[in-house]
Amino acid sequence: MSTILGLAARSAWNRRHNLVLMVIAIALSTAMLLGVERLRHQIRQGFSQSISGTDLVVGARGSPTQLMLYTVFRLGSATNNMSWNSAQRLASHPLVAWTIPMSLGDSHRGFPVLATTTDYFRHYQYGDRQPLRIADGRPGLDGIFDTVLGAEVARRLGYRLGDKIVLGHGSGLEAMGDDLKHADKPFVVTGILAPTGTPVDRTVHIGLAGMEAIHLDWQAGVPIPGMAIPAELVKKFDLTPKTVTGVLVGLKLRSRAFAVQSQIAEDQKEPLMAVLPGVALDGLWDIVGMIEKGLLLMSWMVVAVGLAGLMSSILAALGERRRELAILRAMGARPRDVLMLLVAEGVCLMLVGTIAGYLLLSGVSFLAAGWLASTFGMALPVVWPQANELPVLAAIIAAGALASLWPAFRAYRLSLSDGMTPHL
């Protein structure tokens, strides 16, 4: 037994250049599969924790998915809003602890602009009920032209506290010319948020009053000709919003969410709807999750291709090794020793390849951690294999051992029929 393993090691060392290539192939496919698996986990978790602590999302009656896209992901342009009146009635509901009104529509250099109130910074939570943290400045929107930037906005556009920024009207219309910018009323960066890995990072936050102010002299999506209200004078106008896109609601009693939800749905004054964010996010994930499943399928296929390569390499090398096996047979090695020799080599290759793959992934994670966190808000931590990854690793090793079993069995058959005289 130890004789055979010793010989297997010497033999493998003799063919190390080929074997190293095989190990690299296994390592790459392992690293890829494991990496995709980890990212998938991250994305899924990040997605379902884009928002937390919010019990209901309220908006004009329509599609719950769209309401989530607006209020959580800041995507799309809201077509029907709810009235400010309803938002205020909601805020004074006896079961409601807090509300965050949200108004969307404008953008700044591709980033969505969200008009809200300072309550946003008090009550908005993401992940495992983490509050928003301010990285620089103060988390308030009390001044009409105050703006608080998400981490990614500030980083990508290189903004600092005190910078003046001009918002564009609508989304994606900025490029169409200065006519569609609110150039007369620039905002001042008063705060920059810490990264969250959620759509908050991509958001430019302004106050609801600010949103009203820049649209005082606008109508139907264009500036009213001949009417220009300078920024200094906006305070003379009523800056209370008429409508908002949606309202995030925190309840005093979480258990009453369903009751409040149906009350809102049956509201007599306005057709409204209330969405449970967790349920709506799950619904959204079913759509987005297809990509993730495709990715997983693809990386399993990479593993399969890697193993097929392993198998064909071993099979191809078998022809050259028949002489070696015949010598061992002549020395008294049993056919099952020959089988052992090849299986041991295959299993070792898989073990080494899988471990190398894990180390490769750890190395890449370590090197790319900063970039991943800042660019995608994702963390790919350097960690021991997780409990949910062990079956994946075991599956790779098992599949590899199975793949090397076929050539080993062929070698066994060959050495039975060749005996001491291989017919090459």
Partner 1 sequence: MKDVEPVLSIQDVAFRWPGQSVPSVAMPALELRAGERVFVSGPSGSGKSTLLNLIAGVLVPQQGEIVVQHTALRKLSAAQRDRHRAEHMGIIFQQLNLLPYLSVKDNVLLGCRFSRQRRERALAQGPTIGDAAEMLLGRLNLDASLWQRPAAQLSVGQQQRVAAARALLGRPRLVLADEPTSALDADRQSAFMSLLMRECEAAGASLVFVSHDMRLASRFDMQFTMPATGEERP
Q: Which residues bind partner 1 (CB under 8 A)?
A: 3, 7, 10-11, 13-14, 323-324, 326-327, 329-336, 419-421, 423
Nearer to partner 1, 219 or 421 (CB): 421
**Strands 130-131 and 146-149, how do they pair?**
unpaired
Nearer to partner 1, 160 or 336 (CB): 336
Nearer to partner 1, 185 or 329 (CB): 329
In the complex, the smallest distance separating the C-beta of residue 414 from partner 1, rounded to whole angstroms, is: 13
Give the span between the Cα atoms of 151 and 135, in whole angstroms: 8
Give the span between the Cα atoms of 396 and 169, in whole angstroms: 53
Nearest to 105 by CA among 228, 243, 248, 284: 243
DSSP string, 353-370: HHHHHHHHHHHHHHHHHH
Ramachandran region, residue 246 (left: φ > 0; alpha: ψ -120 to 50; beta: rest): beta
Q: Specify whether the CB–CB gap between 186 and 136 falls below 8 A.
A: no
In the complex, the smallest distance separating the C-beta of residue 316 from partner 1, rounded to whole angstroms, is: 18
In the complex, the smallest distance separating the C-beta of residue 331 from partner 1, rounded to whole angstroms, is: 5
In the complex, the smallest distance separating the C-beta of residue 336 from partner 1, rounded to whole angstroms, is: 8
Q: Work out the end-to-end distance of the chain between its first and last CA atoms, rounded to an integer number of angstroms.
A: 28
Which helix (H) or strand (E) covers residue 148, if one does? strand 146-149
In the complex, the smallest distance separating the C-beta of residue 281 from partner 1, rounded to whole angstroms, is: 59
Nearer to partner 1, 272 or 326 (CB): 326
In the complex, the smallest distance separating the C-beta of residue 347 from partner 1, rounded to whole angstroms, is: 20
Give the span between the Cα atoms of 261 and 410, in whole angstroms: 67
User: What are the backbone dihedrals phi and psi of residue 163, each rounded to the nearest 5 degrees, phi first?
Assistant: -65, 150
Q: In a 3-state reduction of DSSP, which class is residue 195?
A: coil
Nearer to partner 1, 73 or 412 (CB): 412
In the complex, the smallest distance separating the C-beta of residue 5 from partner 1, rounded to whole angstroms, is: 12
Q: In a 3-state reduction of DSSP, which class is residue 383?
A: coil
Nearer to partner 1, 9 or 395 (CB): 9
Q: What number of other Cβ atoms are within 10 A of residue 126's Cβ?
A: 21
Which helix (H) or strand (E) covers residue 83, if one does? strand 82-83
Nearer to partner 1, 13 or 384 (CB): 13
In the complex, the smallest distance separating the C-beta of residue 202 from partner 1, rounded to whole angstroms, is: 59
Nearer to partner 1, 81 or 415 (CB): 415
The residue count of the chain comes to: 424
Nearer to partner 1, 12 or 368 (CB): 12
In the complex, the smallest distance separating the C-beta of residue 383 from partner 1, rounded to whole angstroms, is: 39
**Strands 82-83 and 134-137, how do they pair?**
unpaired
Nearer to partner 1, 183 or 331 (CB): 331
In the complex, the smallest distance separating the C-beta of residue 17 from partner 1, rounded to whole angstroms, is: 13
CB proximity list for 395: less than 8 A, separation 6 or greater: none
Nearest to 205 by CA among 216, 192, 196: 192
